[in-house]
């Protein structure tokens, strides 16, 4: 279907927007371009971005935009403006796009299938690490209450049911799965919160904790998509905002616990520090993509029907939905 140029425009064909980013008037964050903080219009959104649904096309379009913006990255004044921040976000979106296997996950049918597939793979990895998980649960509950950890078959059944109901458009049955999906999300969150405060856990169980964190992200995306499909965009956006708050909080708690337990830090093998730093960076790198998903849903909430245009106007390039000053 031809692109509706009255709604979505190709970003690289919008010289006034690109010049604003180069000059430091605008900056990119997640799924929006906005005026930089401290300016007269500080924080006001200029436009919402749409990245290609195809992973390779999205990656290439991000790289092309970086090259284009770098052409104007020649002065110290520009470097102090919004361009450096925008370049950092684009780099973050590159990493996040690879980690999530594609953007637009919360709002597209294809993205939903990707999330379900990823969760099934994570379930297999969780099962393969059952010994480590038992050790983790012993820390979570001194009573070794295995009931906290749901049977993986039950979880896989939940994901498959959600996928089926979504594809068939059975919103009533899809909505009925939300309590179980939320329970899985909260279980992963509680395990991560508990272990973030235990310095030794970051040393002994880091691979398994990383697995649970990835699981938390994808269950959050699953929950957000289901809420969109059942007509609850407010809660879909809140689900992603919760992740945007939770991941940095977990990182902060983990760092504080390591700094507090000096004896544990002294005993930590030297080769473990890079692993912890890499883990912390992974949690940080995913944030621009989650913000992008959240901003798309916010756009739909403020202008219902926008995502229908979003789906219709597929493109191999980055598109922008301009917001007028009086909007």
pLDDT (mean) for 206-218: 86
Quote the CA–CA distance of 292 and 106 in Å, as a whole number. Answer: 10
2 domain residue, yes or no: no
pLDDT-based confidence at 5, cuts 50/70/90?
very low
Same-domain pairing of 134 and 262 = yes
Token output for 186: 């909260």
**Which residues share a beta bridge with 321?**
48
Looking at 132-146, 169-183, 214-228, which range is the least confident one? 132-146
CB 244 within 8 A of CB 287: yes
Same-domain pairing of 116 and 96 = no
Same-domain pairing of 171 and 54 = no
> Average model confidence (pLDDT) for the chain?
78
- Residue 275's CB is within 10 A of a number of other CB atoms, namely 15
Same-domain pairing of 174 and 267 = yes
Write the pLDDT tens digit of every residue in 100-116. 666 666 666 667 777 88
| pLDDT at 179 (0 to 100) | 93
Higher pLDDT, 135 or 143: 135
CB 320 within 8 A of CB 9: yes
Same-domain pairing of 62 and 81 = yes
198 domain residue, yes or no: yes
Same-domain pairing of 122 and 262 = yes
pLDDT-based confidence at 65, cuts 50/70/90?
confident
**Which residues share a beta bridge with 138?**
none
pLDDT (mean) for 47-61: 82
pLDDT at 262 over 60: yes
pLDDT (mean) for 84-100: 71
Quote the CA–CA distance of 69 and 71 in Å, as a whole number. Answer: 5
User: Which range scores top for mean pLDDT: 124-138, 257-271, 283-297?
Assistant: 283-297
Same-domain pairing of 265 and 131 = yes
Same-domain pairing of 126 and 248 = yes
Number of domains within the chain: 2
Quote the CA–CA distance of 147 and 20 in Å, as a whole number. Answer: 55
Same-domain pairing of 136 and 215 = yes
Longest dimension (CA), the chain: 63
| pLDDT at 197 (0 to 100) | 85
Write the pLDDT tens digit of every residue in 136-165. 656 555 444 444 454 566 788 888 888 888
Same-domain pairing of 48 and 72 = yes
Looking at 66-80, 112-126, 182-196, 275-289, which range is the least confident one? 66-80
Q: Give me the torsion for CA of 272, 277, 279, 280, rounded to 10°.
A: 140
Quote the CA–CA distance of 178 and 32 in Å, as a whole number. Answer: 29
Query: In sequence order, what are the residues at sequence separation of 6 or more whose Cβ sits closer than 8 angstroms to the Cβ of residue 62?
Result: 51, 90, 93, 94, 97, 318
Quote the CA–CA distance of 126 and 83 in Å, as a whole number. Answer: 41
Question: Where is 26: in which H helix or E strand?
Answer: strand 26-29
292 domain residue, yes or no: no
209 domain residue, yes or no: yes
| pLDDT at 76 (0 to 100) | 46
Show the domain range for 153. 109-285
Q: Look at residue 48 and give its three-state secondary structure.
A: strand
194 domain residue, yes or no: yes
Same-domain pairing of 76 and 201 = no
pLDDT (mean) for 225-240: 91
230 domain residue, yes or no: yes
Q: Give me the torsion for CA of 75, 76, 77, 81, rounded to 10°.
A: 100
| pLDDT at 246 (0 to 100) | 94
CB 253 within 8 A of CB 196: yes
Cα-to-chain-centroid distance, residue 87:
18
297 domain residue, yes or no: no
Higher pLDDT, 233 or 72: 233
226 domain residue, yes or no: yes
Same-domain pairing of 89 and 137 = no
Quote the CA–CA distance of 65 and 137 in Å, as a whole number. Answer: 45
């Amino acid at each position: 279907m031809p692109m509706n140029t009255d709604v979505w425009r190709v970003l690289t064909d919008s010289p006034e927007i690109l010049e604003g980013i180069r000059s430091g008037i605008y900056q990119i964050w997640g799924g929006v371009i906005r005026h930089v903080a401290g300016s007269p219009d500080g924080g006001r959104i200029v436009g919402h971005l749409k990245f290609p649904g195809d992973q390779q096309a999205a990656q290439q379009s991000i790289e092309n935009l970086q090259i284009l913006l770098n052409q104007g990255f020649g002065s110290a004044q520009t470097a102090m403006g919004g361009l450096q921040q925008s370049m950092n976000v684009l780099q973050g979106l590159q990493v996040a796009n690879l980690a999530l296997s594609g953007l637009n996950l919360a709002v597209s049918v294809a993205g939903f299938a990707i999330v379900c597939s990823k969760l099934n793979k994570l379930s297999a990895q969780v099962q393969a690490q059952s010994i480590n998980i038992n050790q983790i649960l012993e820390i979570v509950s001194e009573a070794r209450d295995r009931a906290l950890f749901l049977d993986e078959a039950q979880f896989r059944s939940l994901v498959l049911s959600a996928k089926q109901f979504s594809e068939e458009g059975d919103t009533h049955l899809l909505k009925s799965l939300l309590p179980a999906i939320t329970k899985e999300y909260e279980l992963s969150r509680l395990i991560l919160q508990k272990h973030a405060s235990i310095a030794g856990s970051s040393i002994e169980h880091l691979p398994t904790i990383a697995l649970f964190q990835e699981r938390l992200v994808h269950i959050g995306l699953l929950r957000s998509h289901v809420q969109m499909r059942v007509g609850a965009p407010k809660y879909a956006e809140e689900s992603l905002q919760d992740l945007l708050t939770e991941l940095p909080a977990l990182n902060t708690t983990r760092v504080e616990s390591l700094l507090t337990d000096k004896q544990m830090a002294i005993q930590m093998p030297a080769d473990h520090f890079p692993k912890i730093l890499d883990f912390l960076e992974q949690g940080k790198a995913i944030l621009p993509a989650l913000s992008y998903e959240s901003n798309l849903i916010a756009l739909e909430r403020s202008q219902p029907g926008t995502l229908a245009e979003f789906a219709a106007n597929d493109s191999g390039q980055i598109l922008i939905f301009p917001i007028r000053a009086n909007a």
